[in-house]
Amino acid sequence: MEKKNILFRDIIKGLKARDQRIQEPIYKYYWGYLMGVAVRYIQDRDVAREVVNDGFVKAFKHMYDFKHNGILEDFEKTFKAWLARITVRTALDLIRTNKSQLSFVENYEGIEIDNVQVSDALHVEDIMKLLFHLPDLHRTVFNMYEIEGFSHEEISSSLEIPESSSRTYLSRAKQKLRELYLKNHSLANGNPG
């Protein structure tokens, strides 16, 4: 714990001094975490690595202006979240560039969406394994809303889709995850379906 506190004190001091030498320890400390963020959006690990590295380039340009209250625990949380948001936005930029690969439904107005309840037995690890069985857009909206904490308005703006579509994609992603989980859970328990 003390080693980690020293690292964050050094990062805060380096940011304040605008010392570029702080970039290497930041990169080493956060790379694995941000790779985990990137692979939730980009299945190809080589492309996800590029996303993480591009995200670091963006972060390093702006991190010296990162605002924080100087409290170590708060800084750790907010800086990590800030880096994650940059990584997510970098992944979204790539997804948007390859937009033709995504299947957008432009208008869901008037379609009723049932509230989808996820099984209590559904665990985070199970969801992460099943995420890549979802269509790209459903997975992206699920990640942004449920994991990253984006609002439907932010998702709508980032993905250039209507807010109603964001809500629909989220609902459908949850429903599909539930179906996949129940199917896999049945198979794991020896029931063929």
pTM: 0.70
Q: Given a cut of 90, is residue 126 above it in pLDDT?
A: no
What's the pLDDT at 124? 57
What's the pLDDT at 187? 61
Asked if 52 and 31 touch (Cβ cutoff 8 Å), the reply is: yes
Tokens for 188, please give them. Answer: 């794991």
Spell 80-107 as b/e; 16+ CB within 10 A means b. eebbbbbbbbbbbebbeeeeeeeeeeee
Instruction: Report which of residues 98 and 32 the model is more confident about.
Output: 32
What's the pLDDT at 1? 65
Instruction: Report which of residues 112 and 158 the model is more confident about.
Output: 158
3-class secondary structure, 137:
helix
- % of the chain at pLDDT higher than 90: 39
Average pLDDT, the chain: 81
What's the pLDDT at 185? 67
What's the pLDDT at 110? 36
DSSP letter at 40? T
What's the pLDDT at 178? 85
What's the pLDDT at 190? 61
CA–CA gap between residue 40 and residue 60 (Å, rounded) = 23
pLDDT in tens, 41-87: 888 889 999 999 999 999 999 999 888 887 888 898 999 999 999 99
pLDDT category of residue 7 using cuts at 50, 70 and 90: confident
